[in-house]
Amino acid sequence: MKAEEIRFVWLFVFFDLPVGTKPERRAATRFRNFLKDDGYMMLQFSVYARVCRGEDGAIKHIARATRNLPSAGSVRALQVTDRQYGRMRLLLGEVKPTESAGSAQLVLL
């Protein structure tokens, strides 16, 4: 496949997991750690994203996330093109040290 034919897509995972009991907190932590180990970056507390090389890569990572789902809670996946991701706007009230309104996303593969 030629370089100009490669299409990158972004895969977002949104989740709302119960954390009322110690086993629920442990399951939620395991899921978050799986996402980080699988190359996702945390955008917000329950929103993670990663870049995938084409549709096949996104399908592979959705299947991996599905195999690692906690037994309770709500998890959603959303796939967007690299161009759509680039149009995302960061809206901040008070700028925190870990966030920047002017930074550009750079991904090296």
The verdict on residue 40 lying in a domain is: yes
The verdict on residue 57 lying in a domain is: yes
pLDDT range class, residue 2, cuts 50, 70, 90: low
pLDDT in tens, 35-89: 999 999 999 999 999 999 999 999 999 999 999 999 999 999 999 999 999 999 9
Query: Domains in the chain: how many in total?
Result: 1
pLDDT confidence of residue 84: 94
Residue 80 near residue 10, CB atoms below 8 Å:
yes
The verdict on residue 45 lying in a domain is: yes
Between CA 78 and CA 34 the distance in angstroms is: 18
The verdict on residue 100 lying in a domain is: no
pLDDT range class, residue 5, cuts 50, 70, 90: confident
Residue 54's domain spans which residues?
Answer: 3-86
What's the CATH number where 76 sits?
3.30.70.240
Residue 40 near residue 48, CB atoms below 8 Å:
yes
The verdict on residue 78 lying in a domain is: yes
Higher pLDDT, residue 47 or 100: 47
pLDDT range class, residue 99, cuts 50, 70, 90: low
The verdict on residue 19 lying in a domain is: yes
The verdict on residue 99 lying in a domain is: no
Between CA 99 and CA 96 the distance in angstroms is: 5
Between CA 107 and CA 105 the distance in angstroms is: 7
| pLDDT tops 60 at residue 19 | yes
The verdict on residue 31 lying in a domain is: yes
pTM for this entry? 0.80
